[in-house]
Structure 1
């Protein structure tokens, strides 16, 4: 977030406040949601490993992704993939 604030030419606090005012949530919450949504999409439509997907969306490990994924979605990435695979194609 520091880099974004510097690019915008404001302090971190000002950046965070303005971002929250415009987007409706703090920058890190937005980033987490975006990363997890991207991971969910990749899990549903690719054969990439959870480890690979974790790295693609900015997590250091599959464990880190799994913890965040479970906290937000209430399920593990592997469970989402299994559910997606069981659904008929649209």
Structure 2
């Protein structure tokens, strides 16, 4: 495959990467919200509070575990976005220099 044949394929991938990176702010906000929720739940648990009546979880431990999973997932998404940013730089270089 020549550079000219690869160029449209790389340009398509580049567009998708740029769309994906736009979600970085959303992930940061979700992680911040989850960390605040985690802090609140840990305080409620320590203070011996009861679970809210409409709570879908059977215990604070179960709820805390779920929030920790969501934080980890968000952090993994941010790590992926970091790699995508590096790919964007490389793809933009290729597109600009492909002959």
Same fold per superposition (TM over 0.5): no
TM-score by length of structure 2 reads 0.28
Bigger RCO of structures 1 and 2 (CA < 8 A, at least 6 apart)? 2
